[in-house]
């Protein structure tokens, strides 16, 4: 059956055709440079081919590699499991087995300088993205319920963290996950454990611990995939990698960098003795502060009690009573003075009224003549008001008499006094 025949359910391709086409597509890649970590180096004496596996340090992906044994022997630095290399090769697809391998013609170990340069470039990239921003750091709990610990199997770092933490707080609990802390499988295993601990509801802080090592040994802790996973964690992460001079990029992404695993245990777990001593000190200081406050307030109260207004409160009443008495006396004086003045004025007005009143005039011999035969009684002022027959009322000092006009006399030329005196 021709490979150019249309493919369909009625006209399927055989396996040999499929493998041949896949081989053609892969062979078109030509030579390519590939970076990875070397694992499972196999050199068989007497053969012309050496086998090894090239693994991606950031993912659980690998590819088979073949080369001449002489190529491995000519490398500047001896290769071993975990070596970081760059190889030049051509991918090949073996149609018989349906497998892909990389036949390499050049292999170059990545030196320390180049590794540091790549780490520095990654550091700048992550810094530009804000993964190192202090505002993103999560605070550690004061006393975590359970501590997640990722470390090597039965490692010194694991023993240091557990023993120091237990000495400081005997009730502390750990969820320990063991994983390779160097080599090609370290990143993938650490990522899996990190995800499990971050999802655990009782784990409140995660410690990633390792007891130091060379730059190559600490490469997994500067891996981009691990750094981004730590940045995404919702649980605080403590980096306790190596010793004081060691500084992988995990230290910058983690919420807290501990100089050593022992330091991590001290930073995460409080010292029960120190905390109890601190509580005692706070209690002593608070009690002293309370006593000082009571003494100050007692002094204030005593000072207030010594004031006259509180020592003899009746003084205020006495003073006000004296003031009221003085005001009453002053008011009485003013009223009496005003009454006396009004009495004197009344007497003066009464005297004037007596002098000017009609009774006094009548007492001097005068009389008041009034007509009573009119509608209203009125005083007679002239002769025209005294017609003959008019009824009169004559009022003198000691009484009054009634009279009738019988005749009118002509008025005298010279007025005379009522008593007959000119």
Structure tokens at 407: 């005749």
For residue 124, pLDDT over 60 is answered with yes
Averaged pLDDT for residues 234-257? 84
Give this prediction's pTM.
0.50
Pairing of strands 174-178, 146-151: parallel
Q: Is 65 helix (H, G, I), strand (E, B) or coil?
A: strand
For residue 87, pLDDT over 50 is answered with yes
What does the domain layout of the chain look like in residue ranges?
15-110, 116-270, 360-404
Burial 51-90 (b: 16+ CB within 10 A, else e): ebbbbbbbeeeeebbebeeeebeeeeeeeeebbbbebebe
- What sign does the CA torsion over 308, 309, 314, 316 have? positive
The percentage of residues in the chain with a pLDDT greater than 90, rounded to a whole number, is 33
Rounded CA-CA distance 135/127 in Å is 13
Please name which of 195, 253, 241, 192 lies closest in space to residue 217, comparing C-alpha atoms: 241
Torsion angle, alpha carbons of 231, 236, 240, 245, to 10: 60
Measure CA 205 to chain center.
24
Rg from Cα positions in the chain: 64
What does the pLDDT look like over 135-162, one tens digit per residue?
Answer: 989 999 988 889 999 998 888 899 999 9
Rounded CA-CA distance 219/182 in Å is 7
- The CATH classification number of 116-270 equals 3.40.50.261
User: 15-110 sits in which CATH class?
Assistant: mainly beta
Provide the mean pLDDT of the chain: 85
Indicate the pLDDT class of residue 414, thresholds 50, 70 and 90.
Answer: low
- CB count within 10 Å of CB 193 equals 21
Measure CA 354 to chain center.
97
């Amino acid at each position: 059956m021709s490979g150019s025949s249309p493919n369909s359910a009625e006209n399927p391709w055989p396996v040999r055709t499929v493998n041949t086409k896949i081989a053609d597509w892969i062979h078109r890649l030509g030579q390519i440079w590939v970076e990875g970590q070397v694992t499972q180096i196999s050199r068989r004496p007497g053969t012309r081919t050496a086998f090894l596996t090239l693994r991606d340090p950031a993912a659980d992906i690998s590819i088979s590699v073949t080369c001449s044994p002489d190529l491995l022997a000519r490398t500047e630095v001896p290769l071993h499991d975990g070596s970081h290399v760059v190889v030049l090769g051509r991918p090949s697809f073996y149609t018989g087995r349906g497998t892909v391998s990389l036949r390499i013609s050049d292999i170059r170990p990545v030196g320390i300088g180049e590794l540091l340069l790549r780490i520095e470039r990654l550091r700048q990239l992550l810094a530009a993205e804000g993964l190192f921003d202090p505002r993103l750091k999560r605070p550690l709990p004061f006393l975590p319920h359970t501590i997640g610990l990722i470390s090597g199997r039965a490692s010194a770092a694991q023993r240091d963290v557990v023993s120091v933490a237990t000495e400081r707080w005997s009730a502390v609990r750990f969820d320990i996950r063991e994983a390779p802390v160097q080599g090609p499988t370290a990143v993938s295993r650490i990522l899996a454990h990190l995800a499990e601990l971050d999802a655990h509801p009782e784990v409140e802080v995660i410690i990633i611990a390792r007891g130091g090592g060379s730059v190559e040994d600490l490469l997994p802790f500067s891996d981009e995939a691990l750094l981004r996973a730590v940045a995404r964690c919702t649980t605080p992460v403590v980096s306790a990698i190596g010793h004081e001079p060691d500084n992988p990029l995990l230290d910058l992404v983690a919420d807290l960098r501990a100089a050593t695993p022992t330091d991590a245990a001290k930073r995460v777990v409080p010292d029960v003795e120190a905390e109890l001593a601190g509580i005692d000190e706070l209690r002593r200081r608070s009690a002293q502060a309370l006593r000082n406050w009571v003494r100050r307030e007692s002094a204030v109260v005593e000072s207030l009690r010594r004031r006259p207004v509180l020592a003899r409160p009746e003084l205020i009443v006495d003073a006000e009573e004296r003031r009221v008495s003085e005001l009453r006396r002053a008011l009485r004086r003013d009223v009496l003075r005003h009454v006396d003045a009004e009495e004197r004025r009344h007497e003066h007005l009464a005297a004037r009224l007596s002098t000017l009143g009609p009774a006094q005039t009548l007492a001097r011999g005068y009389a008041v003549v009034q007509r009573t035969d009119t509608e209203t009684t009125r005083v007679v002022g002239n002769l025209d008001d005294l017609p003959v027959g008019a009824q009169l009322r004559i009022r003198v000092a000691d009484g009054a008499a009634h009279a009738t006009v019988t005749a009118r006399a002509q008025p005298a030329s010279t007025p005379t006094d009522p008593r007959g005196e000119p």
